[in-house]
């Protein structure tokens, strides 16, 4: 392979159709697998033109820059873009204890609630885009009502808030904005896909860990590190280990343990989730140059083996030539042990890794990538 802006991946798949019995239909159909896949690194301003012209079937990553509204033949999907975090400066004179730190964090979150724009204010670490959100919805609504509902006006409070990203700069009150070393809070963005990718391992046909896409593990990655609180980590470690080794009796005990872990991590205010953004990725549905049977991960979007293993070209009944644009050229090492860690590499590994399990749509579980006709036998 040539680690330049484009690469051709050739794969030949043979399928033998045998009778199968099932009481439920799969929500997606794995392995409409193209026999040739081209990954092309394209800048967002050029991607829109290539989508319109049918030169690429989908664009993975940041949204392409359309000069006008995209035509009806171009559609999009939404996935979890980034978390917006409010971090309180432990050296701030206004954050002498946990109570005052909470007052600072919640004041900033309340101020963001009326700003609109890209951020969806949601002061809870598990979002509606997580497949297991229903396990936490009551806790999320309680947190939202407590922080946002009926809160007094904070218009006279003076804070010094650092903003690093363009999004953060656009939502911080002008009078609060500072770049000085003396600050009370800062607004940071954490990419959801990058957060998950740092903890994932894909090798030998397996994607791990098994709990990679759960809300509780995402919360641990997000707040366990950002809070910088060693005492907090020590308190959640026993709960974390119980979930990892399945030390529970049934699903009810497991869900309650997950809720307890998330509540413990979210109780501190040194790092407070303020909300999240939605990432939009575009693809062509044109006949016959477009694609269909689109499946995607609610956290990582189109950069998922789920998309690669289900997408079907309209030109062909089963396989064909798939051309995907991606918003960054390869930069990481090219090997399955220490490499493929950038967006380009992860998408390529989804194409050539042939995992045994792929993410299941709309939930944090997994589904079989390949189905075998296994005959059961009974011993007399």
Task: Give the pLDDT confidence of 168-217 residue by residue, as tens digits.
Answer: 888 998 899 998 889 999 999 999 988 888 888 776 666 778 898 899 99
Specify the 3-state DSSP secondary structure of 153: coil
Q: Which of 1, 11, 4, 76 is nearest to 309 (CA)?
A: 11
Provide mean pLDDT across the span 92-96.
Answer: 90
Comparing CA positions, the residue from 218, 200, 220 lying closest to residue 209 is 200
pLDDT at position 7 is 46
The region of weakest confidence among 61-75, 131-145, 201-215, 224-238 is 224-238
| Nearest-angstrom CA–CA distance, 200 and 213 | 10
Contact status, residue 39 vs residue 347, Cβ threshold 8 Å: yes
Chain mean pLDDT for the chain:
83
pLDDT value at 67 more than 50: yes
pLDDT tens per residue, range 257-276 = 999 999 999 988 888 999 99
The span from the CA of 191 to the CA of 342, in Å, is 13
pLDDT of the residue at 226: 57
Looking at residue 341, what is its pLDDT?
Answer: 79
Q: Give the dihedral sign, CA 312/314/320/325.
A: negative
**Domains identified in the chain and CATH numbers:** 28-73+285-368 (no CATH), 81-277 (3.10.105)
Residue 57 DSSP symbol: S
What pTM was estimated for this model as a whole?
Answer: 0.83
- 68 is written with which tokens? 């006008």
Q: CA distances (Å), 71 to each of 53, 65, 285, 286, 293, in order?
A: 11, 13, 10, 10, 19
Helix (H) / strand (E) containing 99? helix 98-112
- Rounded to whole angstroms, how far apart are CA atoms 240 and 295? 31
Cα–Cα distances in angstroms (integers) from residue 63 to residues 79, 81, 293, in the given order: 12, 11, 21
Burial grade of 306 (CB within 10 A; 0-12, 13-18, 19 or more) = buried
Handedness of CA 130, 195, 5, 357 (dihedral sign): negative
In angstroms, the CA 111 to CA 123 distance is 12
The per-residue pLDDT for range 12-35, each reduced to its tens digit, is: 333 333 344 444 445 555 556 788
pLDDT above 70: percentage of residues in the chain:
83
Alpha carbons 171 and 71: distance in angstroms, whole number: 31
């Amino acid at each position: 392979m040539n680690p330049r802006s484009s690469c051709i991946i050739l794969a030949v798949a043979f399928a033998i159709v045998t009778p199968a019995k099932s009481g439920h239909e799969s929500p997606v159909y794995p392995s409409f697998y193209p026999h040739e896949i081209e990954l092309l690194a394209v800048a967002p301003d050029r991607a829109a033109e290539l989508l319109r012209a049918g030169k690429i079937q989908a664009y993975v990553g940041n949204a392409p820059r359309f000069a006008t509204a995209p035509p009806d033949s171009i559609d999009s999907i939404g996935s979890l873009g980034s978390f917006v975090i409010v971090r309180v400066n432990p050296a701030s004179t206004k954050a002498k204890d946990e109570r005052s730190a909470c007052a600072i964090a919640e004041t900033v979150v309340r101020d963001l609630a009326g700003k609109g724009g890209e951020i969806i204010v949601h002061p809870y670490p598990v979002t509606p885009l997580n497949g297991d959100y229903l396990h936490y919805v009551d806790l999320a609504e309680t947190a939202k009502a407590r922080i946002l509902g009926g809160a007094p006006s904070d218009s006279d409070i003076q804070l010094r808030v650092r903003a690093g990203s363009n999004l953060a700069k656009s939502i911080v009150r002008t009078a609060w904005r500072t770049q000085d070393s003396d600050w009370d809070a800062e607004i940071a963005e954490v990419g959801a896909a990058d957060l998950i990718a740092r903890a994932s391992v894909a090798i030998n046909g397996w994607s791990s860990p098994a709990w990679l896409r759960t809300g509780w593990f995402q919360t641990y990655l997000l707040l366990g590190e950002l809070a910088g609180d060693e005492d907090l980590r020590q308190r959640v470690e026993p709960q974390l280990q119980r979930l990892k080794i399945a030390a529970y009796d049934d699903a009810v005990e497991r869900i309650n343990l997950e809720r307890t872990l998330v509540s413990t991590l979210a109780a501190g205010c040194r790092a407070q989730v303020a909300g999240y953004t939605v990432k939009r990725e575009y693809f062509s549905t044109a006949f016959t140059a477009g694609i269909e049977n689109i499946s995607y991960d609610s956290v990582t979007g189109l950069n998922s083996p789920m998309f690669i293993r289900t997408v079907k070209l309209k030109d062909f009944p089963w396989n064909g030539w798939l051309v995907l644009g991606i918003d960054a050229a390869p930069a990481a090492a090219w090997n399955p042990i220490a490499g493929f860690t950038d967006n380009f590499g992860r998408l390529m590994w989804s194409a050539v890794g042939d995992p045994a399990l792929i993410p299941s749509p709309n939930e944090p579980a997994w589904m079989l990538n390949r189905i075998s006709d296994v005959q059961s036998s009974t011993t007399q």
